[in-house]
Amino acid sequence: MSQNRQDHHPGQHIARHRHEDHQLIYVSSGVLAVRTDHGAWVAGARRAVWVPAGTWHEHRVHGHTEVHTLQFPLGCTPLPTDTPTVIAVPALLRELLVASTESGLTPGERDRLRAVIEDRLCRADIAPLQLPCARDPRLHDACRIVEGDLARPLTIGRLAREVGISERHLSRLFRTEFGTTYPQWRTTARLFHAMIQLTDGATVTETAHRCGWSTPSAFVHTFTRTLGQTPGAYRSAGARPRDTAR
């Protein structure tokens, strides 16, 4: 079982790769967007991403990011092994993950930390915020159009016309592939990109407008209800070092 800590710069891209072991990715500052063939996830100060062994994935760094990764052998599976999973990281687990990647740990210290981490992972709350990847090319095009301009209030009828299919057919594609409605998927997409915007230094008001909320208060309400903290608190936790002094 291995673990390491790395610092990454804004905009850095880690090319598509995979590991023979399971991997837990935790980000104590900044944001790491993890993309696989299943979809995309965001790892941040309150969420970690579990990537099962053999899963092809790539990373995009947003903000000055400190990444802590822990490898777990195939026989050690405290979390699901069939698909990447986002878990909530409460204060105790956060400190354990950070401590376990410190340099100079003795084998005994490392083993004791890992034992407690595995216990806590078995109790971890799943914190689903996945942006799924579409297989149908028409649904893929629809998602690309929406994500290309989240501030544009596209109805599903207008979106269906832009991709050349009926509204009923497009609605069925969202339900069949993603298990959700178009408005629910669009809210997830807006939250996903809002997390990145905030980490890149955008204000709460700027983020609200860029991601398609009619008012900042509506954005704050949705963000807080879904992610368990206000966008202002999220921005402060993941801000670049020069931002925290403001």
Joined tokens for residue 200:
């890149």
What distance lies between CA 151 and its chain's CA centroid?
A: 21
Closest CA to 132 of 39, 33, 37: 39
Measured between alpha carbons, how far is 93 from 99 in angstroms, rounded to an integer? 10
Instruction: Name the more confident of 193 and 75.
Output: 193
User: Strand, coil or helix: what is 6?
Assistant: strand
**205 contacts: CB under 8 Å, gap ≥ 6:** 216
Core vs surface per residue 103-112: b (16+ CB within 10 A) or e? eeeeeeebee
Measured between alpha carbons, how far is 141 from 74 in angstroms, rounded to an integer? 37
Band the pLDDT of 40: cuts 50, 70, 90: confident
pLDDT recorded at residue 184? 93
Which of the residue ranges 90-99, 136-145, 149-158, 222-231 would you say has the lowest mean pLDDT?
Answer: 222-231
pTM over 0.85: no
pLDDT at 80 over 90: no
pLDDT digits (tens, 9 = 90+) for 138-150: 999 999 999 999 9
Average pLDDT of span 73-87: 83
What distance lies between CA 133 and its chain's CA centroid?
A: 14
Measured between alpha carbons, how far is 46 from 90 in angstroms, rounded to an integer? 7
**89 contacts: CB under 8 Å, gap ≥ 6:** 26, 45, 46, 47, 48, 97
pLDDT digits (tens, 9 = 90+) for 111-123: 999 999 999 998 8
Joined tokens for residue 174:
């969202």
Continuous segment of H or E residues that includes residue 114: helix 107-122
Instruction: Name the more confident of 20 and 241.
Output: 20
Residue 45 DSSP symbol: T
